[in-house]
Structures are given as structure tokens and as C-alpha cells.
Amino acid sequence: MSDATDATNAAWQGRYEGALMNTFGPPKATLVRGSGAHVWDEDGTEYVDLLGGIAVNALGHAHPALVEAVTAQLGTLGHISNFFASEPQVRLAEKLLELVSAAGGPVATGRVFFTNSGAEANEAAFKLTRRTGRTHVVAAEGGFHGRTMGALALTSKEAYRTPFEPLPGDVTFVPYGDVEALAAAVTDETAAVLLEPIQGEAGVVLPPDGYLRAAREITTRHGALLWLDEVQTGIGRTGRWFAHHSPVEEVAQQPLVPEEGALRPSRRARNQVTPDIVTVAKGLAGGFPIGACLGLGDAATLFDPGNHGTTFGGNPVACAAALAVIGTIESEDLLEHVTVLGQKLRDGLAADPRVTEVRGEGLLIGLDLATDASAEVFAAAMRHGFIVNNPTPGRIRLAPPLVLTDDDASAFLAAWPAILDEALGPVPGEQP
């Protein structure tokens, strides 16, 4: 990086620190433009964006379909409040209900509440669960659901929670993926069980096969709602519209939950379930702020007029942007692209012995390093022209735009050994 870049970025960083609240720490760089999966900083330094605004920029930067949709809608009808309806709002709600239905199954019966973010979608869902007449919620350790007071109450990480306690709600946390612990925590007083199909902020953690099905069985048995947070995993991120749409596979004829009356199907999906509530955001509008709380079945009618509201949720421009993202994913067959490219990245990253584990589905990828040096890997990747994410001291997360090209993936894999050399030193047993 040149002195000119240092000076420019330092100047902007100084102004940033003087003008913005210090909630995120110092910015890594000042970015000025983007195209596809590439961004440029003030001095013209180019980076391949493998973070995608934390899984938000589904179509990358400045995608023509998104630019056209936002421009056209803003030039036609920009904001109307929720005293009125708009065509994009209705069309998007209908489309989300179509997409959340299991592949090949009937369109889900449900209704949608639009918000401005994932945290607000979870806040709406949290209030929706109270309409059951119960207050107890079971959530998972390692889960992340946002930083509003309600969403934070459902997030287990002590560092996030402690400065703001007491938090609202009657919440029990259980180990993620532990069916017996979940079964023990849910009672006839439980309003809902909240789970991420894949935990993103924890470093891309997948549950064991059948976990979501077990959660469905447990909640059904106790009359509780099953609420899936797909804020990070939804809208094509995993190579499926929703991460809980896992492929069907043959499994043994035994109940997932060892209790009398449990289901005993001869064939069931690995994680394919029909939840009561699904929350989405991040990639939904490709960078235009939006979130959604989907209530399915009886959960769709728990809210009455006046129970909840929003000023900007369902904004026609945001809904038009989301329709453009979904339409582009369909027209460019990006779900298949995401599946193929994700496998290539996971295989390539796992080939280095300084990586001890690679996890994920589609273009949501997490890997464990041999040492707690994720900050050093992040810095080395930046020097090589790649933006990655280090959510924990020993883990790297990748959530690039769904339009990431094969050439970009190959370039990152080619640079990966040198990045690790700088961050971790040479492979043990090899000459430096």
C-alpha cells in the first residue's frame, strides 16, 4: 500500500473517528466504489470482496438489474407509509411465500411482515411468539439474532449481553445441535424454539443431520412454534433458497427424539422442515435495507391490527430491489453456481494443512485455523487484495456475492498458501 493511500485512508479514518460513534472500531479502509465482487479504496487499490457486506451483497456491487429496479421504482413511487399498499410489496410477499415452500410442495399458507433489517425481523417474530399467550423461548448457544434489546435477549454471547442486562424475555439457551438438551428445555409453557439452520456469526457451524427435524417434532409435541432465523442463510446463500430446504435422503426407521409417540417415517428429509416462523434479511435486497418476518400456517394470523408496526418496512423501493435480486438469482441460475463454486472453495481451502476444518454450504464458508491467528490472516488477505472475515480468533468466514466468478475463486485459492505463510508461518516441516 502506498504512502498516498496511507495518508488518504488515515485522513478519512481520522474524520470517521471524530464524527461517528465508536461501535465498530476503526474501519479497515475507506471504500469508494464496487463492481461485481470487486471493490476499490480511496487510492484505487482493488480487492476481491469475499465478505459481501456480511452476506448482504447477493448480486455484488452495482449490478445492473438492481440499479435499474431501484432507479425505476424511486422515479415512480418512493415511499407511501403502511397506510397504503404498493404492487412491489404485495408481489414480494407472495414470492417469499412461494420460495419458502418446500421444493415441489404446495405454496405455503402464510403472511409476511416487512422490516428494515434482520434484527427488526427477529424483533417482530419475538413479539409474534408472545401472541401465543406464552413467554418462554428456547434458543441456541452460539446463535446470533441481532443487537436490538429483544434480539439481543435471544443471542447467547456474553460479551454482547452483559453491558445491557437485564434483557427482556424468559429465554433458555441450550447447546446447538444437542437434541436431548433441546427436548429437556422445551415444555408446554414454551412459546417458541429459535434456531439458525447454520450458525453464521459463530463461524459457520452446521448442526448434525436431523437436528431441525427433531426440533420440529419437539415443538409440535409441546404446542410451541418453530422459528428459524434465516437472516444470513436465506435467499440463495447456501445454494438453496432457504437453508432448511435440505435434500431428502433415506434414514433409519427410528425416532429422532426418543419418546413415545414420536414420528417414525421411513423416509424423511435431512433437515427439511416446515417451520412456523422464518426471518430473512441480509441478501434479500442485495444491499438495500429490508427484512421480513414470515408467519406460516396458524402463526400467520397471530398479529392483529395495532400489535406491531414500522415506518419504512415494505417500502416500495426496497421491495422492488428484493424482487430484482430474486429474479436475477432465478434468471442467472445462481443457486447452481453457488453450489458448485462453494464446493470448489471448500476443497481448495481444506487442502492446506494449516487449516484444520472447513464447513459450510454454498457460499457461506467457515474454516478453523491451526492457531488463533484469524486477525493476522485477515490482514494478510487484505495485503494480497482479498477481503475476508475473522469472526473468532481461530476462524475465518467467507460470504462473498453470489455472482463471484470462477476466476475470482481461483485467484483466492492461488493466493491462499502465501496468505497463510505471512499470517501463520510456513507449513510445519517445510523450509521457510
**Grid coordinates of 382:** 487484505
157 and 95 in a single domain? The answer is yes
pTM above 0.85, yes or no: yes
**Region 137-155: what's the mean pLDDT?**
97
Q: Over 50: is that where the pLDDT of 126 sits?
A: yes
The count of domains in the chain is: 2
- CATH number for 350: 3.90.1150.10
**What is the side-by-side order of every strand in the sheet holding 170-174?**
110-115, 291-296, 277-280, 225-229, 190-195, 136-140, 170-174
- CATH number for 170: 3.40.640.10
170 and 192 in a single domain? The answer is yes
Q: Which residues contact 148 (CB under 8 A, 6 or more apart)?
A: 119, 120, 122, 123
36 is in an annotated binding site: no
385 and 242 in a single domain? The answer is no
124 and 173 in a single domain? The answer is yes
Catalytic residue among 41, 113, 114, 282: 282
**Region 147-153: what's the mean pLDDT?**
96
Q: Is-contact 186 138, C-beta < 8 A?
A: yes
Task: Report phi then psi at 300, rounded to 5.
Answer: -70, -25
List, in sequence order, every beta strand (DSSP E) within 16-59.
31-35, 38-41, 46-49
Catalytic residue among 113, 114, 126, 229: 229
Q: Tell me: the pLDDT tens digits for 338-396?
A: 999 999 999 999 999 999 999 999 999 999 999 999 999 999 999 999 999 999 999 99
Give me the residue label for grid cell 438469482.
329
Domain that holds residue 315: 67-247+270-332
Cα distance between residue 349 and residue 346, in whole Å: 5
Q: Tell me: the pLDDT tens digits for 46-98?
A: 999 999 999 999 999 999 999 999 999 999 999 999 999 999 999 999 999 99
Q: Which residues contact 289 (CB under 8 A, 6 or more apart)?
A: 116, 117, 312, 318
Residue 254 — pLDDT band, cuts 50, 70, 90? very low
407 and 317 in a single domain? The answer is no
Catalytic residue among 126, 144, 242, 303: 144
232 is in an annotated binding site: yes
pLDDT value at residue 265: 38
**Region 287-299: what's the mean pLDDT?**
97
Q: Which residues contact 395 (CB under 8 A, 6 or more apart)?
A: 203, 204, 366, 367, 368, 369, 374
- Peptide bond preceding 166 in cis form (omega within 30 of 0): yes
Residue 333: active-site member: no
In this structure, the number of other CB atoms found within 10 A of the CB of residue 40 comes to 16
pLDDT value at residue 272: 74
Residue 3: active-site member: no
Q: Which of 8-17, 110-119, 274-283 has the lowest mean pLDDT?
A: 8-17
Residue 229: active-site member: yes
Q: Is residue 58 part of a domain?
A: no
76 and 196 in a single domain? The answer is yes
Q: Is residue 315 part of a domain?
A: yes
Give me the residue label for grid cell 476443497.
347
Q: Is residue 133 part of a domain?
A: yes
